[in-house]
Structure 1
Amino acid sequence: MAVQNVADASSIRTSGLCARDAGTAATAPGFRHFLGTPAPSQRFRAFGIDPLSSPSHHAKLRGLMHRLSRRMDAAIKWPPHQGRSAEHWENPFIPSGYTYLLQFIAHDLVHSAIPLSVAGGLGRGTTNARHTPLRLETLYGSGPVGSPHIYALDAPNDDRRTKLRLGRMRWKENEPATGCPFRDIARTRAENVTGIDRSIAGVRVALTEPLVADPRNDDHAVMSQLTALFALLHNGLVDIIRRQEDNTRPNGRFGAAYKRFLCARGALTAIYHNILRKDLMRRVIHPAIYQAYCSPNPSFIDCPDPAEGCAIGGWEIPFEFSHGAFRFGHAMVRHEYRINDLSLHDLNNTLEKSSANDPVNMPLDETWMVQWSRFFEINGSRPNLSRRIGPYLSDGLGNDQIFPAFDETERVGLLYRDLLGAGLAGMWSVDALIAEIGQRRPHFVAMSRLLADRAYRVSQLREWLAAAPAYGALSAADIETLSNDPPLPFFILFEAMQQPHAEGLHLGPLGSIIISEVIFGALASDPRLADGSSLSERMAGISREFYPANLLQEIPDISSMAQLVELTSEIAELQHAVPAFL
């Protein structure tokens, strides 16, 4: 019901249309277009036809995206690394934990009831219910009052809630004498009016319901473990604040709970933002673009234009980010993961480990407790590395149980969904987008021959599309339309693969610009970041919003995921946890 209310509010704000292209450029509430709504001549086309204005053309679009997705099944022959001990397809600069941090961020920016690819067109089911960007709504929901099921009671005789709920992990074998069992997200069973019970009678109860703010945070084992990591840190921050509170005043206990929660949430959000700015973005985007955007007050080119008649004041996310550039994280997913000292799991097994898919084996057992030095570089550890970024996805993302077919192509997998969703969104064509950016920031386009020289861009795309005829069986007409008008998520991966001397190690300029505008733009909307203050200064300011003194002064300057894990290990007393946390 809350999501529906947000959808209704967004619908009132935007009326589903921007005035610049009324009647032909419909958008879903909560979304907009990057750099303004493209004119009909500026939108992506397949075989010369705009899918947004020609629903009768959708069958041909589906066929084309099906064949392109098949072409992208061909493994990429990456060049060897210079002086780095990694497989050719691995990225030694991006440990695989960042793959799932990107997924967590995607959940924090976009929450729609139905994927656009499955919905088949823009409509109410594709509304984006996120109304504030990067404020950890995906973790906190609507807070202890609005989402009480994800919060733990403070004490047996106290109905206030300030900590995020966690669940006990399960032991396959006998539980050891030591160790902390609260390492999974909380899960429970539920009555089912249909009479379906997935439990194993007399053996194990099916825990079908993850008690999290965003059910997508239980999409698979690594995602639920990352969510538990953030919950553990929040709960540790609550403990730090609680130890220093003065609750001797009348009604002190009542007011303290709300202040404590808001202070801890503010602190974790500030840490999260610092990591996005100084760690994640530095790794995934083009170095020159990063330098242009990493300052506290960068110059943005994607500013909503009141002359368009679109809503201002209500945050909306560009399709070119959500259904285009930010899909690059799917290419970083490995085919298998060393989860901890006990277990190596392939991607299919990892994707199937959730309350939705495997409820009788929930909670997660010790073989699924993530040892974070396997996912981030901590004290010289050798973590799982992400895949290099290019137009290829690991086979597990074609899992027909997780990503089944939904249309007449019978194509399974995530890749087809990404490509089709982009084709249906009425997005800018790659050519028009490059031209528009070139008008506003010509030096950004000039740094890349692939962007600056259209003839070269078309020839490179044509050559790659024709290079593996056994995959996809692309026709000459397919190759011609795709090389002249590639779907945006495909081009972002292609551009990353084509980076001179850094093939697939980070995004190219176009992908980096779109992602920087949205991520750094969302960070700049936080008033605490506007003055460029340090994390310690922001922590002091957050604490003083609620308390006379700085109760967060013992929090160090956390600027990387490795440091976040180490801090969590310390304040949650998990340094010697069994199974290992670090």
Structure 2
Amino acid sequence: MAVQKVADASPFRISELNPRDSISATPTPGFRHFLGTPTHSQRFRAFGVDPLASSSDHAKLRGLMQRLSRRMDADIKWPPHQVRSAERWENPFIPSGYTYLLQFIAHDLVHSAIPLSVAGGLGRGTSNARRTPLRLETLYGSGPVGSPHIYALDAPNDDRRTKLRLGRMRWKENEAATGCPFRDIARAQAENVTGIDRSIAGVRVALTEALVADPRNDDHAVMSQLTALFALLHNGLVDIIRRHEGHAGPNARFGAAYKRFLCARGALTAIYHNIIRNDLMRRVLHPAIHASYCSLGPQFIDRAEPAGNAASGDWEIPLEFSHGAFRFGHAMVRPEYQINDQSLHDLNNTLEKSSMNDPANMPLDETWMVQWSRFFEIHGSTPNFSRRIGPHLSDGLGNDQIFPAFDETQRVGLLYRDLLGASLAGMWSVDALIAEIASRRPDFIAMSRLLSDRAYRVEQLRGWLVSGRAYGALTDEDIETLSNDPPLPFFILFEAMQQTEGLRLGLLGSIIVSEVIFGALASAPQSVSGSSLADQLDLVSREFYLANVLQDIPDISSMAQLVEFTTEIAELRQAVPAFL
């Protein structure tokens, strides 16, 4: 979430197609619309014009989104909160590790070849390749056979690849006595047929290739460290299963290895789902909405059956989620991070630490080894807190090297991409979306004056836009069109600021996120709302073994517990630099 849009494979993959070409109103494969496809009159408009109906007005649309993004450059004057040790812009209820768990989840839900904002319209490389939501495809790829480059040998006497590959960290100065533990994702050198070598001659070879299933998981240092955390847990689960399984003869070794892999993957997926349901969603959703969807048998309004069509491979993600509500995570990104006890890095530096952007300084050195008690609250630690959720992003997300300009507005940064991409997706207007939800769940809409009272909503939006109009040089016409028909990702951030003081999502954002996330969880075979993790792990184990080989795994229902368990099974409690 932090440095890439939900549907982006990379911000650098710029389309050669003309963004002024006509735009299809039909979602591309893997995408659909929330609550059904909106009619022409229900779609978002700018200056009264539907962007899907008139490509000739796109220059005017781009100008409007550029000016709105500049209005959102203004700092938000947040009210004080109860935690006096935190800055006003910080959210003490959501440690910053959850910002990147949200990004990881985004990668697990959507994988497209090119940003919609850059492509200029749906159908130009913007299809979603994910067909099974939240099954950790972003970590496991197509498995040891389909994605062998990301897997390592299970054990010295076994030539099957069923563990996830990791790489040694490096020491920034001199080799330390403690050696170089496997704390980074795996990275490799590749000969470049163009003859361009990014190595530092006589000093360091450039490791340009990140050996991960999803290249976006090497977007930046914190993202690659989170990926390494999950890989360490998977590998530890493989070892646990090995200790409990019976001895297989030489001819059975192949089957034993893959049973072990599938069981470990199922166990990690169950843990992942348990954390999403009981930890992450509890923190980011409006409490009333979380209670409604986390209960037994939630009433989904976006589909006839909670399970959808995921089992048949027809699962599709709503554009109103991928290009609208779930962009809220970008607002949570901090301007700097205390990576560990010794290292503080600003956001620009953090974004540049990847095999794509800085291959000559890979693998990551000790200053980038994440100490997880700095990102999640563990044993009373004080972690980096995320930013409050509102219509403002950290300056680092305007980095012109990571997010360069791509059209005549010359606007750089992630925010403009979010706004323009949403405007070109043919999504529901905020008014029509609220009305449709009200027809299905009037009790939800009645909880919020911002949603139930249109005149009040327009007044609040207009007041905020006018208060900072100098930032974006907004015209009176701009203010009227935006207050009457705001782009969805902007409104979700505005709603969070107005309704919850930025401490969690507002009602509309929470409804959209809940429908998609809890709907995806409901489609998973072992992820049953109300069943314990122990029961789910027992089901996973008995798919492959007569006994429960996962019985020693504790009840992991939070990221803090996941980190603590990984620390134990990976034997990292005494690690240098500190892991916990």
TM-score normalised by L of structure 1: 0.93
Q: Is the 8 A contact 1:296 1:529 kept in 2?
A: no
Deviation at 1:124, TM superposition (A): 4.0
Aligned residue number for residue 529 of structure 1: 527
Amino acid aligned to 2:573:
Q
Q: Is the 8 A contact 2:184 2:224 kept in 1?
A: yes
Distance 2:476 2:529 in 1: 54
Deviation at 1:528, TM superposition (A): 1.4
Say which SS state the counterpart of residue 153 (structure 2) adopts.
strand
Distance 2:559 2:156 in 1: 34
| Aligned residue runs from structure 1 range 19-38, under 5 A | 25-38=25-38
Q: Which one of 522, 547, 550 corresponds to residue 549 of structure 1?
A: 547
Q: Is the 8 A contact 2:236 2:566 kept in 1?
A: yes
Deviation at 1:201, TM superposition (A): 1.3
Distance 2:533 2:456 in 1: 45
Provide, for residues 180-218 of structure 1, a one-character-per-residue CA deviation record: whole Å limited to 9, x for no partner. 610000000101111111001111100000000000000
Say which SS state the counterpart of residue 498 (structure 1) adopts.
helix
Say which SS state the counterpart of residue 364 (structure 1) adopts.
coil
Is 1:258–2:258 an aligned residue pair? Answer: yes
Unaligned runs of 5+ in 2: 1-22, 306-310
Q: Is the 8 A contact 1:78 1:88 kept in 2?
A: yes
Distance 2:179 2:511 in 1: 45
Aligned residue number for residue 6 of structure 2: none
| Aligned residue runs from structure 1 range 455-474, under 5 A | 455-474=455-474
Is 1:319–2:337 an aligned residue pair? Answer: no
Q: Is the 8 A contact 2:248 2:256 kept in 1?
A: no
Distance 2:467 2:530 in 1: 48
Distance 1:444 1:392 in 2: 26
Amino acid aligned to 1:189:
Q
| Aligned residue runs from structure 1 range 433-452, under 5 A | 433-452=433-452
Q: Is the 8 A contact 1:247 1:253 kept in 2?
A: no
Deviation at 1:83, TM superposition (A): 4.7
TM-score normalised by L of structure 2: 0.94
Aligned residue number for residue 411 of structure 2: 411
1:440 and 1:329, CA in 2 relative to 1: closer, same or farther beyond 3 A?
A: same
Distance 1:56 1:334 in 2: 38
Distance 2:556 2:570 in 1: 16
| Aligned residue runs from structure 1 range 151-230, under 5 A | 151-155=151-155, 158-178=158-178, 181-230=181-230
Deviation at 1:251, TM superposition (A): 2.4
The number of residue pairs the alignment matches comes to 553
Is 1:71–2:71 an aligned residue pair? Answer: yes
Deviation at 1:53, TM superposition (A): 1.5
Aligned residue number for residue 536 of structure 2: 538
Amino acid aligned to 2:147:
S
Provide, for residues 63-103 of structure 1, a one-character-per-residue CA deviation record: whole Å limited to 9, x for no partner. 00000000000000000012542110000100000000000
Say which SS state the counterpart of residue 386 (structure 1) adopts.
strand
Deviation at 1:249, TM superposition (A): 4.5
Aligned residue number for residue 240 of structure 2: 240
Is 1:343–2:332 an aligned residue pair? Answer: no
Unaligned runs of 5+ in 1: 1-22, 306-310
Aligned residue number for residue 130 of structure 1: 130
Q: Which moved more, 1:293-302 or 1:470-479?
A: 293-302
1:351 and 1:83, CA in 2 relative to 1: closer, same or farther beyond 3 A?
A: closer
Say which SS state the counterpart of residue 289 (structure 2) adopts.
helix
| Aligned residue runs from structure 1 range 343-382, under 5 A | 343-382=343-382
Q: Is the 8 A contact 1:179 1:578 kept in 2?
A: no
Aligned residue number for residue 10 of structure 2: none
Provide, for residues 304-346 of structure 1, a one-character-per-residue CA deviation record: whole Å limited to 9, x for no partner. 69xxxxx986100000000000000000000000000111000
Deviation at 1:157, TM superposition (A): 5.7
Is 1:283–2:290 an aligned residue pair? Answer: no
Q: Which one of 550, 556, 566 corresponds to residue 558 of structure 1?
A: 556
Is 1:297–2:297 an aligned residue pair? Answer: yes
Amino acid aligned to 2:348:
N
Aligned residue number for residue 514 of structure 2: 516
Distance 2:248 2:326 in 1: 49
Aligned residue number for residue 271 of structure 2: 271
RMSD, matched Cα? 1.4
Distance 1:154 1:301 in 2: 44
1:312 and 1:542, CA in 2 relative to 1: closer, same or farther beyond 3 A?
A: closer
Deviation at 1:530, TM superposition (A): 3.4
Distance 2:559 2:436 in 1: 35
Q: Is the 8 A contact 1:117 1:418 kept in 2?
A: yes
Provide, for residues 418-441 of structure 1, a one-character-per-residue CA deviation record: whole Å limited to 9, x for no partner. 000000000000000000000000
Distance 2:87 2:390 in 1: 15
Distance 1:312 1:510 in 2: 30
Provide, for residues 113-168 of structure 1, a one-character-per-residue CA deviation record: whole Å limited to 9, x for no partner. 00000101111400100010000000000000000000002345643111000000
| Aligned residue runs from structure 1 range 424-435, under 5 A | 424-435=424-435
Distance 1:392 1:372 in 2: 26
Distance 2:547 2:180 in 1: 32
Q: Which runs of 4+ in 1 moved over 6 A?
A: none
Q: Is the 8 A contact 1:96 1:383 kept in 2?
A: yes
| Aligned residue runs from structure 1 range 80-119, under 5 A | 80-119=80-119
Distance 2:179 2:81 in 1: 40
1:517 and 1:480, CA in 2 relative to 1: closer, same or farther beyond 3 A?
A: same
Distance 1:366 1:260 in 2: 32
Provide, for residues 257-315 of structure 1, a one-character-per-residue CA deviation record: whole Å limited to 9, x for no partner. 0000000000000000000000000000100000000024211000169xxxxx98610
Distance 2:579 2:219 in 1: 21
Amino acid aligned to 2:48:
G
